[in-house]
Amino acid sequence: MPRQSDMRQLKEQMSALAERIAREAFSTHLDYSVESIRQVERILGAIHDDYKSTRSEEGLQGIALEFGVYIVKVIERHFGPAEWMRDHESLGKDTFPLQWRGSTIFPFQWCMKRIFDGPGDDVWLKFKTLVLDAAPPNNGMQRTRRKRVL
C-alpha cells in the first residue's frame, strides 16, 4: 500500500502533466476552477476523436490518469477534503478511487471511458451529477436557506 506522501507526490506530478498537455497540445490553460472541467471534457473529446481514427491506445491510460487526477484536485479545492487512493478493495489495483463525503467516485475511470467510449461518457456531466449536484462548493460563504412563504 503506497504511503500517503507518495500519493500526494504522484498527484502533483500527474496534475502538472495534465496542465502541460492542455497548454502545449490544446492551447488551454487549466486553472483548477469548477468550470475548467468543461475544458477537460473538450480535451478528452479531441483525444477520443484521435483514438477513433488511429485506434492507437499508446499513452492513453496515462493521459486518463493525469486528467483524472486534475479532476481530483478540483474536487479537493472546491468541495472539501477527500482521500485519493491507488487501489480499491473490491475493484482492485490501480483503479485510483476517491473517497469523498461518504462516497467513492472514480475520476480516472471517467476519463478512461471518455477517451475510449466517446461522448456518452461526458466527464462534465459526471462531475455535475456526482459532485456539483451532490454538494455546493466550499468557497468560504455559507448558503442561507430561504424560507418559503405559502
Q: Is the pTM of this model over 0.85?
A: yes
CATH code of domain 4-132: 1.20.120.1090
Per-residue pLDDT tens over the stretch 7-24: 999 999 999 999 999 999
Domain definitions of the chain by residue range = 4-132
Per-residue pLDDT tens over the stretch 21-52: 999 999 999 999 999 999 999 999 999 999 99
Query: Does residue 1 register a pLDDT over 60?
Result: no
| Pairing of β 83-84 and β 98-100 | antiparallel
Residue 27 and residue 105: Cα distance in Å, rounded?
A: 29
**Residue-level pLDDT at 139:** 54
